[in-house]
A and B are shown apart, each in its own frame.
Chain A
Amino acid sequence: MNKTTKTILWLVLLVILVFYPKIFGVYYTNVFVTFAVFAVYAVALNVLLGFTGLLSFGHAMFFGAGGYGTALALKHIEGLALLPAIGIGFLSATVLAMILCPLVVRVSGTAFAMMHLAFGQLLYVLALKLRGITGGEDGIGNFPIPPFSIPGLISIPMKGAPENFYYLAMVILGVSLWLMWFFTKTPFGQIQVGLRDNAKRIDYLGYKVPQSKAVIYVISGAFAGVAGSVYGLFHNLVSADGSLGILVSFAPITAAMIGGIGSFFGPILGTAVFQIIEEVTIRFTDRVELVMGVILIMVIMFAPRGIVGFITTMKQRWQSPSAAGAKKEKTS
């Protein structure tokens, strides 16, 4: 694909995104916002999982920290504007990641995953039990959502205007995605692949392994926080089960697995597949978990490297049938 085609494709995508709410109506606009939130969340997790090879079982704590940070700020600070509120969500997730990173960068593999499970569960249980601050099981709902405003210029109401919120969410999530994409392309971002494949070698080359891991970790957590913050604003509700529960931690992992963890866009594809399946299944049956479980099993059995990996393999086979045939003979 040359540069012109790529630019045209991006422009087409942009136009579709701009006119999406006009064409599809309120319901699908909301579905799309949910999809976008989880896509950014899954990409943030994948920065850690796919690129650096660190599996976090408790990424919901950053998602939740973002949500609770924004919600608490809007509830308690009088006259807070919208962007600073999202900024506070971003900051609370960043601070949480910074507190945890001295502990977690020492380990990798199973121990890393388990420590996240521990801290994630700790935050979840605390959010359930500290009713005075977090509202327990009910969560924090109905906090004021200020209009998006640039003083002296414009003021766009956000509450009860899904279309306006759609554009805001798209801009924030799009910028987050672009920043993460940009990050993985910087020389520093390339180190993370090295950390995944051979951490010792990176050490010999003169890079500081724990510190590099810590920076990547904080970035991954911070963007998960942005996703959580937008999610909280979107529902006007932040609750322990909806933002901090173990299922919230698993959703991006499965999405990344289904899409393909090696690639940047894989998790977005995975999230889309999940969203579509859920939308379709719910029309016919309420046994969503059965369908989801079966699909999860099928994908893992027949396309263990996810959809993106499956497409790459097929492409290779298509382009060089003889080589693929030879490979097949070798393995059998």
Chain B
Amino acid sequence: MDPTTSMYVAQGIHGIAYGMILFLIASGLNIIFGMMGILNMAHASFFMLAGYFCYQVIAITGSFWAALLLAPVFGAGAGILMERIFLRKLHAFGHLGELILTVGIGQVILAFVKIFWGTESLPVQVPPILEGMVNFGGLEYPIYRLFVIGLALVVLVFMSLLLYKTRLGKIVRAAVSDRDMVNALGINIPVVFMFVFGIGTWLAGVAGVAIAPILTVFPGLADQVGMDAFIVVVTGGFGSLAGSFIVAIIFGLLSSYGVQFLSQLAPVLMVAFMAIVLAIRPNGLMGVEEK
């Protein structure tokens, strides 16, 4: 491979890796919205929180693998607590209240993060096996980003199996389309809600751990990546995982090639893409009409 082609390929893989991380966050947001109708503005804060948990677990145990296993679980625990203590009580007052509440919770999480860990960027070390470059046919590529793509794919497959092949997944999908009916059939909807919220924040947590070694962990992380993930869900269509996936990959590629060719206007590309899609299909690329 000559240097130009290899550069293009490298940028492409970069884009896909970023798109995969966006998809992990976006899918959590999407599941929560599809099922509960809650637009969780604090979602990106849980993503950031998991990044900090990851840093903390590594500081204590010294193992990245332990962090990968534990940090998302802690993040999910925080999410479940928020659902149980706050969101559940607000359900009667409509979605606007829930939305504002999650904005408030996002601010509180940001403040706590600043109190506990300070405002500077914290580096996260990857284990030696993921360090360094891999060489295929003249193209040097960092292993860690390939690992991120693989991790996201594994999570994706696991999620699809859970949603489409298990009894639990059936209940969740049924609850998305008609919550009251499922409740009437004797299934404890609040528990299912809690479970779904936990899964959603867990997904954000996995993304938080995956991105920590690339971007380091800092308090602006939630705003920076969270907004992108939010845009992905909006453009792909609420309630549609396939839509989120397609748009996440497109956005990843747009941002990596955009930086290369039009470094000035790279962020404009993404937002313009969203504006055009929404102008033509107001419910997103693959979203369904509201009832």
A residues lining the B interface (CB < 8 Å): 55, 103, 106-107, 109-112, 114-115, 117-119, 121-122, 125-126, 128-129, 246, 250, 253-254, 257, 261, 287, 289-290, 292-297, 300-301, 304-305
Contacts and interface: CB of A to CB of B under 8 A. Distances in A.
Contacts of B231: 117-118, 121
Contact of B108 (A118, A125, A293): A293
A304 B93 contact: yes
A307 to B, nearest CB: 14
Contacts of B279: 103, 115
Interface string B107-137: 1101110110000000000000000000000
Given A125-B267, A250-B103, 8 more contacts: A118-B231, A122-B272, A287-B115, A293-B108, A296-B103, A297-B105, A300-B90, A305-B93
Contact of B278 (A114, A290, A294, A297): A114
Interface in B254-291: 264-265, 267-268, 271-272, 274-275, 278-279, 282-284, 287, 290
13 contacts: A109-B290, A118-B234, A125-B268, A129-B265, A246-B227, A257-B96, A257-B100, A287-B111, A293-B110, A296-B104, A297-B105, A297-B108, A301-B86
Interface of B: 39, 86, 89-90, 93, 96-97, 100-101, 103-108, 110-112, 114-115, 227, 230-231, 234-235, 238, 264-265, 267-268, 271-272, 274-275, 278-279, 282-284, 287, 290
A117 B97 CA distance: 18
B104 A297 contact: yes
B264 A118 contact: no
Contacts of B282: 106-107, 111-112, 114-115
A122 B101 contact: no
B53 to A, nearest CB: 20
A300 B87 CA distance: 10
Contact of B271 (A111, A115, A122, A292): A122
Given A114-B278, A294-B108, A300 B271 contact: no
Contact of B290 (A103, A111, A125, A296): A111
Which of the listed residues B104, B105, B108, B264 has the most CB atoms from chain A within 10 Å of its own CB?
B104
B100 A126 contact: no
Contacts of B227: 121, 246
Contacts of A117: 230-231, 234
Contacts of A300: 90, 97, 100-101, 104
A115 B271 CA distance: 11
A103 B272 CA distance: 15
A102 B51 CA distance: 43
Contacts of B107: 289-290, 292-293, 296
A278 B5 CA distance: 54
A127 to B, nearest CB: 10
B108 A290 contact: yes
Given A106-B282, A114-B284, A304-B93, A121 B274 contact: yes
Given A118-B234, A289-B110, A289-B111, A296 B100 contact: yes
A217 to B, nearest CB: 15
B240 to A, nearest CB: 13
B39 A296 contact: no
Given A103-B279, A296-B101, A301 B89 contact: yes
B274 A118 contact: yes
A125 B275 CA distance: 12
